[in-house]
Amino acid sequence: MTVASTVLWGVAHIAAERRKSGVALMAAYVLMLAGVLTMFTAFSVNLLSLAVQPRWMTVLTVALVVIALAWITVIVWSFLLVRPPRSDLVGRALTTTLTIALCALVLAPTAYATRLAYVSRDVVNTLFSPGDSTAPVLAHDPWNGAERVNFLLLGGDSAPGRPGVRTDSMTVASVAVDSGATVLFGLPRNLERVPLPKGPARDRFPWGFAGTGADTPGLLNEIYQYGEDHPEVVPGVPKGRRGAELIKETIGGILGIPVHFHAMVDMKGFAEIVDAMGGVRVSIKEPIVYGKYREGVLPAGTRKLSGQEALWYGRSRTDSDDYVRMGRQKCLLNAVAKQADPITVLNSFERLAAATKRAISTDLPQDLLPAAIDLSQRVKDARIRSLNFVPPLVNTASPDWHFIRRTVREALREQDRPRRALAGPRGPSAGHDAPVSLDATCR
């Protein structure tokens, strides 16, 4: 009877002729199950959005604790109604043990879910600043009318022999709000004479960023650290955010599109994230030598890479160059995005959370997280294309900035063409060059 009451509240009460109590418990149990099933079916799309809102995670934690305590109360109450008589010592011992085990069976998943809720809330509060957006967030349109949202993805690397952080990987992901269709624009680290944003930065380098000496020859990957080290070129921005703000405005100017948010991943931390996922599967076209001293080779073919192998897959320049490496980095980003499914994330949640806190920094505010989660689900189901501004398309020593901006416009127009064709013409396109060709990312 106690086991049956654990599965369906009220069974033991009815057996003990407590009919009113039994029926009331059954009704409460059915209503609770109906509520849970409704949440996981009708509102399943919104569950991930709720998971990144600390307030809702607190509500969920309290609700889980209340349900668990109610369930345990029903189990103990049922046992007390139907337990063996005092004279049956063996029966009492066995059924008491069984009751304790049933209570633990109910409590264990609740404790696990509560732990996940706590970890999730901690990650959100650590990575994302509350109320940090520069424009008001509207409930009906969190992106404030924007057709595309542009995210700057930075891979930061540091070495014992040089000061600061170099952003050796720089990619802007331009995401269509309605469809999730994405274009990745890759910029090489060695672009020279990069025009800086108007204001103090442009005043200091009117002919493009030139560095500060022999150790900083004036490449694009030095601008992040330069902004951190020179607050006067990014006035009014606090320490820790100056470099990101300067590189966002700089790359936005290069591409001719606004960069709304950024996320920077520490290269070593990226390896931890891949390991927490259980590895990432990629297709390797040609063998890749990895390791500082050529310790190994990643053979050609489709295979699952560990975090360290994925790191070298994205970083290795042995027998290749920066531009081949940039192409592999796009493949790696695409593979991680596609393979980070909910089951994988849930199974490794705590390891992923710990690695994420150590490896990632971003300026995406908390109040936009639900919209970002919703957008990410569209990205997973949409085509991701890429365009790298590397030789021979551009001359890194003397880039044609007008050409780059024009090419970006064409790339976005080509990505949007099927969608716009369905919506009907929006006006003449005279004066534009022929559409650029976008590379499909790796599978």
Chain centroid to CA 253: 25
3-state secondary structure at position 304: strand
d(C-alpha 403, C-alpha 393), whole Å: 9
Residue 423 pLDDT: 43
Residues 162-211 have pLDDT tens digits of 557 888 889 999 999 988 899 999 999 899 999 999 999 999 999 999 98
Output the average pLDDT for the chain. Answer: 83
Q: Considering the entire predicted model, what is its pTM?
A: 0.74
The band of 159, judged by pLDDT with boundaries at 50, 70 and 90, is low
CB 132 within 8 A of CB 365: yes
Q: Please give the Cα distance from 39 to 58 (Å, whole number).
A: 17
Most confident of 106-120, 248-262, 339-353: 248-262
**Nearest residue to 227 via CA among 253, 257, 249:** 249
Query: In the chain, pLDDT over 90 holds for what percent of residues?
Result: 36
Show the CA angle centred on residue 214, arms to residues 294 and 317, nearest 5°. 20
d(CA 193, CA 398): 7
Give the dihedral of Cα atoms 181, 183, 184, 187; nearest 10 deg: -160
Mean pLDDT of 299-311: 87
Q: Which pLDDT belongs to residue 395?
A: 92
Cis? peptide before 392, omega within 30° of 0: yes
SS3 166: strand
Q: Which residues contact residue 235 at a Cβ distance below 8 angstroms, ignoring those fewer than 6 apart? A: 199, 200
Residue 140: what pLDDT? 59
Give percent of the chain with pLDDT exceeding 70.
85
pLDDT digits (tens, 9 = 90+) for 404-437: 999 999 999 887 775 554 444 433 333 334 345 4
Rounded CA separation 103/116 (Å): 20
- Which domains, from first to last, does the chain contain? 2-127 (no CATH), 148-440 (3.40.630.190)
pLDDT value at residue 44:
63
Q: Taking 90 as the threshold, does the pLDDT of residue 273 lie above it?
A: no
Q: Which has more confidence, 4 or 313?
A: 4
Give strand ranges (E) for 238-374: 261-266, 280-284, 288-290, 296-298, 301-305, 360-362
Predicted confidence (pLDDT) per residue in 80-123, tens digit:
999 988 888 898 899 999 999 999 999 998 888 888 888 888 88
Of 343, 325, 329, the residue nearest 270 (C-alpha) = 329
Contacts (Cβ under 8 Å, ≥6 apart) of 60: 50, 113, 117
Question: Is the pLDDT confidence value at 334 over 60?
Answer: yes
Dihedral in degrees, nearest 10, Cα atoms 336, 340, 344, 350: 90
Q: Which of 76-80, 222-226, 304-308 has the lowest mean pLDDT?
A: 304-308
Average pLDDT over residues 18-40: 90
Q: Is the CB of residue 256 less than 8 Å from the CB of residue 200? A: no
Q: Which of 418 and 124 is assigned the larger pLDDT? A: 124
**Is pLDDT above 50 for 438?**
yes
Strand partners, 155: 169, 265
> How confident is residue 50, by pLDDT bands cut at 50, 70 and 90?
confident
pLDDT computed for residue 138 by the predictor: 44
**Residue with the larger pLDDT of the pair 252 and 429:** 252
Mean pLDDT across 364-378: 86
Query: φ and ψ at 256, to 5 degrees?
Result: 80, 20
Confidence band, pLDDT 50/70/90 cuts, at residue 135: very low
